Amino acid sequence: MDTFFFSSDWYHQLQAASTQAPLRRRAALMVGARCIGSVDDEYFCHLWRSQRAAFSPLLLRTEDCGVPAWHLLGEATFALEHIATALKQIESSGVASLWRNELLDVRDCDELPVGQIERGAVRALGISTRAVHLVGCDDQKRLWIQQRSLTKSTDPGLWDTLMGGMISARDTLESALERETWEEAGIGLKALMNVRWGGYVVLNMPHANDGGIGYVNERIDWFQCEVPAGVQPVNLDGEVERFARVDQSELRAMLEGNAFTSEAALIMVQYLRGL
Protein backbone atom coordinates (compact mmCIF):
# COMPACT_ATOMS: atom_id res chain seq x y z
CA MET A 1 0.00 0.00 0.00
CA ASP A 2 1.58 3.30 -1.05
CA THR A 3 1.30 6.82 0.32
CA PHE A 4 -1.55 7.57 -2.14
CA PHE A 5 -3.66 5.81 0.49
CA PHE A 6 -3.37 9.11 2.38
CA SER A 7 -3.92 12.73 1.46
CA SER A 8 -0.62 13.98 0.05
CA ASP A 9 -0.96 17.25 2.01
CA TRP A 10 -1.44 15.37 5.27
CA TYR A 11 1.44 13.00 4.56
CA HIS A 12 3.85 15.84 3.74
CA GLN A 13 2.74 17.72 6.86
CA LEU A 14 3.44 14.61 8.95
CA GLN A 15 6.92 14.27 7.49
CA ALA A 16 7.62 17.97 8.01
CA ALA A 17 6.40 17.84 11.62
CA SER A 18 8.77 14.99 12.44
CA THR A 19 11.82 16.74 10.97
CA GLN A 20 12.09 20.31 12.22
CA ALA A 21 15.03 22.58 12.86
CA PRO A 22 15.55 23.98 16.38
CA LEU A 23 13.63 27.13 17.22
CA ARG A 24 16.80 28.86 18.41
CA ARG A 25 20.54 28.40 18.02
CA ARG A 26 21.80 25.26 19.70
CA ALA A 27 25.35 24.50 20.73
CA ALA A 28 26.97 21.08 20.81
CA LEU A 29 27.21 19.35 24.18
CA MET A 30 30.60 17.70 24.37
CA VAL A 31 32.51 15.15 26.42
CA GLY A 32 36.09 15.81 25.36
CA ALA A 33 36.00 15.66 21.57
CA ARG A 34 32.80 13.59 21.52
CA CYS A 35 29.42 15.20 20.87
CA ILE A 36 26.60 13.74 22.99
CA GLY A 37 23.81 16.28 22.47
CA SER A 38 22.99 19.95 22.10
CA VAL A 39 21.67 22.80 24.25
CA ASP A 40 19.88 26.08 23.69
CA ASP A 41 22.95 28.34 23.78
CA GLU A 42 21.22 31.52 24.95
CA TYR A 43 19.27 29.69 27.64
CA PHE A 44 22.35 27.94 29.02
CA CYS A 45 24.34 31.18 28.97
CA HIS A 46 21.61 32.65 31.15
CA LEU A 47 21.69 29.64 33.49
CA TRP A 48 25.45 29.75 33.73
CA ARG A 49 25.31 33.42 34.77
CA SER A 50 22.27 33.23 37.07
CA GLN A 51 23.00 29.82 38.61
CA ARG A 52 26.77 29.91 38.53
CA ALA A 53 27.23 27.87 41.68
CA ALA A 54 25.23 24.99 40.21
CA PHE A 55 26.51 24.99 36.63
CA SER A 56 30.05 26.43 36.53
CA PRO A 57 31.68 23.32 38.14
CA LEU A 58 29.98 21.13 35.53
CA LEU A 59 30.04 23.03 32.24
CA LEU A 60 32.44 25.21 30.28
CA ARG A 61 31.46 27.18 27.18
CA THR A 62 33.91 27.64 24.33
CA GLU A 63 33.59 29.34 20.97
CA ASP A 64 35.59 28.58 17.84
CA CYS A 65 35.15 30.88 14.83
CA GLY A 66 31.75 31.92 16.18
CA VAL A 67 30.57 28.35 16.78
CA PRO A 68 29.76 27.74 20.47
CA ALA A 69 30.04 24.46 22.36
CA TRP A 70 29.42 23.40 25.96
CA HIS A 71 31.83 20.91 27.54
CA LEU A 72 31.11 18.62 30.47
CA LEU A 73 33.70 18.90 33.23
CA GLY A 74 34.71 15.75 35.04
CA GLU A 75 33.32 12.23 34.71
CA ALA A 76 30.36 12.22 32.34
CA THR A 77 27.72 10.38 34.39
CA PHE A 78 28.56 12.41 37.51
CA ALA A 79 28.33 15.71 35.63
CA LEU A 80 25.11 14.72 33.86
CA GLU A 81 23.50 13.63 37.13
CA HIS A 82 24.20 17.00 38.74
CA ILE A 83 23.15 18.99 35.68
CA ALA A 84 19.88 17.04 35.55
CA THR A 85 19.25 17.67 39.25
CA ALA A 86 19.95 21.39 38.82
CA LEU A 87 17.65 21.63 35.80
CA LYS A 88 14.88 19.86 37.72
CA GLN A 89 14.75 22.83 40.10
CA ILE A 90 14.25 25.31 37.22
CA GLU A 91 10.64 25.40 36.06
CA SER A 92 11.37 26.82 32.61
CA SER A 93 13.58 23.84 31.70
CA GLY A 94 10.59 21.45 31.67
CA VAL A 95 12.71 18.74 33.30
CA ALA A 96 10.65 18.28 36.47
CA SER A 97 7.50 17.31 34.55
CA LEU A 98 9.42 14.61 32.67
CA TRP A 99 11.33 13.20 35.66
CA ARG A 100 10.88 9.43 36.03
CA ASN A 101 13.77 8.22 38.22
CA GLU A 102 14.87 6.15 35.24
CA LEU A 103 18.32 6.16 33.66
CA LEU A 104 18.95 6.20 29.91
CA ASP A 105 22.23 5.47 28.17
CA VAL A 106 24.11 8.41 26.68
CA ARG A 107 26.04 7.74 23.47
CA ASP A 108 28.15 9.85 21.16
CA CYS A 109 27.58 10.41 17.43
CA ASP A 110 29.26 7.05 16.71
CA GLU A 111 26.86 5.25 19.09
CA LEU A 112 29.67 4.59 21.57
CA PRO A 113 28.64 4.68 25.26
CA VAL A 114 29.61 7.74 27.30
CA GLY A 115 27.52 7.55 30.46
CA GLN A 116 23.96 7.61 31.79
CA ILE A 117 21.39 10.27 32.66
CA GLU A 118 17.91 10.64 34.15
CA ARG A 119 15.43 10.46 31.28
CA GLY A 120 13.70 13.69 32.36
CA ALA A 121 16.75 15.72 31.29
CA VAL A 122 17.45 14.23 27.86
CA ARG A 123 15.29 16.71 25.91
CA ALA A 124 16.77 19.79 27.59
CA LEU A 125 20.23 18.49 26.68
CA GLY A 126 19.31 17.32 23.17
CA ILE A 127 20.58 13.81 23.95
CA SER A 128 19.63 11.08 21.49
CA THR A 129 17.17 8.48 22.76
CA ARG A 130 15.80 5.18 21.53
CA ALA A 131 12.30 3.80 21.87
CA VAL A 132 10.31 0.74 20.89
CA HIS A 133 6.71 0.39 19.67
CA LEU A 134 4.44 -2.55 18.92
CA VAL A 135 1.72 -2.64 16.26
CA GLY A 136 -0.84 -5.33 16.99
CA CYS A 137 -3.65 -6.59 14.78
CA ASP A 138 -6.28 -9.30 15.23
CA ASP A 139 -7.08 -12.12 12.83
CA GLN A 140 -9.31 -9.77 10.83
CA LYS A 141 -6.50 -7.21 10.41
CA ARG A 142 -8.13 -4.76 12.81
CA LEU A 143 -5.57 -2.73 14.75
CA TRP A 144 -5.31 -2.52 18.51
CA ILE A 145 -4.51 1.07 19.55
CA GLN A 146 -4.22 2.87 22.87
CA GLN A 147 -5.24 6.34 23.98
CA ARG A 148 -2.54 7.95 26.09
CA SER A 149 -3.47 8.92 29.63
CA LEU A 150 -5.01 12.38 29.94
CA THR A 151 -2.46 13.14 32.66
CA LYS A 152 0.70 12.29 30.66
CA SER A 153 3.16 15.15 30.35
CA THR A 154 3.64 14.57 26.62
CA ASP A 155 0.79 14.23 24.12
CA PRO A 156 -1.95 13.54 26.68
CA GLY A 157 -5.09 12.02 25.18
CA LEU A 158 -3.62 11.35 21.75
CA TRP A 159 -3.73 7.86 20.26
CA ASP A 160 -0.75 5.57 19.99
CA THR A 161 0.25 2.10 18.84
CA LEU A 162 -0.61 -0.88 21.03
CA MET A 163 2.55 -0.17 23.02
CA GLY A 164 5.30 2.43 22.98
CA GLY A 165 8.11 3.26 25.39
CA MET A 166 11.71 4.37 25.77
CA ILE A 167 14.61 1.95 26.01
CA SER A 168 16.18 2.41 29.44
CA ALA A 169 19.80 1.89 30.41
CA ARG A 170 18.95 -1.54 31.82
CA ASP A 171 17.27 -2.71 28.61
CA THR A 172 18.14 -4.19 25.27
CA LEU A 173 15.75 -3.54 22.39
CA GLU A 174 14.20 -6.96 22.94
CA SER A 175 13.88 -6.69 26.72
CA ALA A 176 12.33 -3.22 26.39
CA LEU A 177 9.78 -4.64 23.95
CA GLU A 178 8.87 -7.37 26.43
CA ARG A 179 8.81 -5.13 29.51
CA GLU A 180 6.84 -2.29 27.94
CA THR A 181 4.31 -4.64 26.34
CA TRP A 182 3.62 -6.13 29.76
CA GLU A 183 3.49 -2.79 31.61
CA GLU A 184 1.35 -0.96 29.07
CA ALA A 185 -0.84 -3.74 27.69
CA GLY A 186 -0.63 -6.50 30.29
CA ILE A 187 0.38 -9.02 27.62
CA GLY A 188 3.40 -11.32 27.66
CA LEU A 189 5.18 -11.67 24.33
CA LYS A 190 4.64 -15.44 24.40
CA ALA A 191 0.88 -14.81 24.21
CA LEU A 192 1.30 -12.98 20.88
CA MET A 193 1.73 -14.52 17.43
CA ASN A 194 4.35 -13.80 14.75
CA VAL A 195 6.17 -11.03 16.60
CA ARG A 196 8.69 -9.49 14.19
CA TRP A 197 10.64 -6.29 13.56
CA GLY A 198 8.80 -3.93 11.21
CA GLY A 199 11.18 -1.02 10.72
CA TYR A 200 12.10 2.25 12.37
CA VAL A 201 11.29 5.95 12.28
CA VAL A 202 13.30 8.97 13.41
CA LEU A 203 12.10 12.15 15.11
CA ASN A 204 14.12 15.38 15.02
CA MET A 205 12.13 18.33 16.30
CA PRO A 206 11.80 20.91 19.09
CA HIS A 207 10.34 19.55 22.29
CA ALA A 208 6.74 20.65 22.71
CA ASN A 209 6.61 21.01 26.50
CA ASP A 210 9.28 23.65 27.14
CA GLY A 211 8.84 26.27 24.45
CA GLY A 212 11.61 24.84 22.30
CA ILE A 213 14.38 24.84 24.91
CA GLY A 214 14.69 21.10 24.46
CA TYR A 215 15.14 19.08 21.30
CA VAL A 216 13.95 15.58 20.40
CA ASN A 217 16.39 13.31 18.61
CA GLU A 218 14.94 9.81 18.76
CA ARG A 219 15.06 6.55 16.83
CA ILE A 220 12.03 4.31 17.29
CA ASP A 221 12.21 0.65 16.31
CA TRP A 222 8.81 -0.90 15.85
CA PHE A 223 7.59 -4.46 15.84
CA GLN A 224 4.37 -6.00 14.62
CA CYS A 225 2.37 -9.00 15.79
CA GLU A 226 -1.01 -10.70 15.77
CA VAL A 227 -3.04 -10.53 18.97
CA PRO A 228 -4.94 -13.85 19.23
CA ALA A 229 -8.66 -13.96 19.88
CA GLY A 230 -9.34 -13.88 23.59
CA VAL A 231 -6.21 -11.84 24.42
CA GLN A 232 -7.34 -8.44 25.66
CA PRO A 233 -4.89 -5.60 26.44
CA VAL A 234 -5.17 -4.23 29.98
CA ASN A 235 -2.98 -1.37 31.16
CA LEU A 236 -0.90 -1.98 34.30
CA ASP A 237 1.15 1.21 34.71
CA GLY A 238 -1.53 3.93 34.61
CA GLU A 239 -0.23 5.47 31.39
CA VAL A 240 -3.09 4.40 29.11
CA GLU A 241 -6.60 5.87 29.15
CA ARG A 242 -8.16 3.06 27.13
CA PHE A 243 -7.62 0.59 24.30
CA ALA A 244 -9.66 0.34 21.11
CA ARG A 245 -9.73 -1.89 18.06
CA VAL A 246 -10.22 -0.22 14.67
CA ASP A 247 -10.34 -1.33 11.07
CA GLN A 248 -8.09 0.22 8.44
CA SER A 249 -10.64 2.77 7.23
CA GLU A 250 -11.20 3.97 10.82
CA LEU A 251 -7.46 4.09 11.34
CA ARG A 252 -6.96 6.19 8.22
CA ALA A 253 -9.63 8.69 9.31
CA MET A 254 -8.04 9.00 12.76
CA LEU A 255 -4.58 9.47 11.26
CA GLU A 256 -5.68 12.18 8.86
CA GLY A 257 -7.61 13.80 11.71
CA ASN A 258 -4.31 14.08 13.64
CA ALA A 259 -5.61 11.93 16.48
CA PHE A 260 -2.26 10.12 16.80
CA THR A 261 1.14 11.17 18.09
CA SER A 262 3.66 12.00 15.37
CA GLU A 263 5.70 8.87 15.99
CA ALA A 264 2.68 6.57 16.03
CA ALA A 265 1.39 8.13 12.80
CA LEU A 266 4.75 7.58 11.09
CA ILE A 267 4.80 3.96 12.25
CA MET A 268 1.23 3.31 11.17
CA VAL A 269 1.98 4.69 7.69
CA GLN A 270 4.95 2.32 7.38
CA TYR A 271 2.83 -0.58 8.62
CA LEU A 272 -0.03 0.09 6.18
CA ARG A 273 2.34 0.53 3.25
CA GLY A 274 3.78 -2.90 4.01
CA LEU A 275 0.45 -4.72 3.75
pLDDT digits (tens, 9 = 90+) for 58-115: 999 999 999 999 999 999 999 999 999 999 999 999 999 999 999 999 999 999 999 9
Domains belonging to the chain, first-starting first, are: 3-7+129-273 (3.90.79.10), 26-121 (3.30.750.160)
- 2 — pLDDT class (breaks 50, 70, 90): very low
Closest by CA position to 239, among listed 135, 132, 147, 137: 147
Asked whether residue 117 carries a pLDDT value surpassing 60, the answer given is yes
When pLDDT is cut at 50, 70 and 90, the band that residue 6 belongs to is confident
Position 7 scores a pLDDT of 77
Q: How confident is the model at residue 3 (pLDDT cuts 50, 70, 90)?
A: very low
Residue 118's pLDDT is 98
What are 165-194's pLDDT values in tens digits? 999 999 999 999 999 999 999 999 999 999
**In this model, does residue 274 exceed pLDDT 90?**
no
Q: Is 147 exposed, middle or buried (0-12, 13-18, 19+ CB in 10 A)?
A: middle
What value does the mean pLDDT take over residues 222-235?
97
- pLDDT for 4 beyond 60: no
pLDDT at 125 over 60: yes
**Per-residue DSSP letters for 34-70?**
EEEEEEEHHHHHHHHHHTHHHHTTTEEEEEETTEEEE
Q: Which pLDDT value is given to residue 1?
A: 40
Q: How far is CA 89 from CA 93, 99, 165, 271, in A?
A: 9, 11, 25, 41
Strands 129-137 vs 215-226: parallel, antiparallel or unpaired? parallel
Query: What is the distance between the alpha carbons of residues 188 and 43, in angstroms, rounded to a whole number?
Result: 44
CA 125 – CA 120 distance, rounded (Å): 10
Please answer whether residues 107 and 223 qualify as being in contact, where contact means their C-beta atoms are separated by less than 8 angstroms: no
- Give the whole-angstrom CA distance, residue 223 versus residue 204: 21
Q: Residue 35: its pLDDT value, please?
A: 97
CB-CB neighbours of 4 under 10 Å? 8
Residue 212 pLDDT class (50, 70, 90 cuts): confident
Integer angstrom CA distances of residue 128 from 107, 110, 220? 7, 11, 11
3-state class (DSSP) for residue 250: helix
